[in-house]
Amino acid sequence: MISEQLIDILKNAKRVAVLTGAGVSAESGVPTFRGTDGLWKRFSPEELASFDAFMRNPELVWEWYQYRRSLIYDIKPNTGHYALAEMEDLFDDFILITQNVDGLHQVAGSKKIIELHGNIRRNKCSKCGEYYAEEIPVDKKEVPKCRCGGLIRPDVVWFGEMLPEDAINKAFYAARNSDLFFSVGTSGFVHPAAQLPITAKESKAYVVEINPDKTAITPYLDELLKGPSGKILPEIVKLLKLNNA
């Protein structure tokens, strides 16, 4: 249920920022990290998602990312992704900040997007850092090599690694300067991303969470719209279009 206060804020909001997490892709069939069937319940991040792990056992880490790619390549965006893509044109200033590496926001048509944790569809060299443009089939088991001889890795942020500086700076700028901020489908456990809704709140934005459950940051935000993002985001878009009509 969208509150009267939020309806009013939606009508007048000029600068809007949205942070998304794995929950946005859940309705497309992409597993989350911390849910009952989440990836970190079944797999160990220490063995699979750090640079040390990759150096210790590149084949295993590569295989895991190939497995995750196989999960997402046939998957379609859901109504939540499409609603966010539409929201771009419904505000004067809009930015989507995502922690997701699945690239589904772009498939849905989002263009104003900041990727905080990289993108699993891209690869780069673990030695020289150059992007690896060649298409790699998901069933390729051997770790490809760069021209420089370095091993190719997915262009995602691993535990212990810094987030891309430009992305995090732009994301905090958006959080500090938004008048309406949405935190959608994220558990609020992983920093610095989890700090963005808090920063927005401290900077006087109205901060709305969209999630079927309470999260680590719910107590610090203004309003929780309890439910799946694939249902709630299209309702928000519908409201906005009614206002603009």
**Out of 81, 105, 117, 191, which one is annotated catalytic?**
117
DSSP string for residues in 212-243: SS--TTGGGSSEEEES-HHHHHHHHHHHHHHH
Shortest distance, CB of residue 29 to ligand OAD, whole angstroms? Answer: 11
Q: Which of 70/243 has CB closer to ligand OAD?
A: 70
35 in contact with ligand OAD (CB under 6 A): yes
205 in contact with ligand OAD (CB under 6 A): no
CA-CA distance, 223 to 60, in Å (whole number)? 42
Among 6, 9, 16, 26, binds ligand OAD (CB under 6 A): 26
Instruction: Give the long-range contacts of residues 31-36, CB within 8 A, separation 24 or more.
Output: 31/71, 32/185, 33/187, 34/187, 34/189
Shortest distance, CB of residue 94 to ligand OAD, whole angstroms? Answer: 19
164 in contact with ligand OAD (CB under 6 A): no
Q: Determine contact, residues 97/169, Cβ cutoff 8 Å.
A: no
| Residues forming a β-bridge with 124 | 131, 153
Interface map 55-94 toward ligand OAD (x if CB under 6 A):
----------------------------------------
CA-CA distance, 165 to 1, in Å (whole number)? 37
117 in catalytic set: yes
Residue carrying the six token digits 């900041």: 114
Instruction: State the catalytic residues.
Output: 117
What does the binding site for ligand OAD look like in residue numbers (CB under 6 A)? 21-23, 26-27, 32-35, 38, 49, 99, 117, 157, 185-187, 189-190, 210-213, 215, 228-230
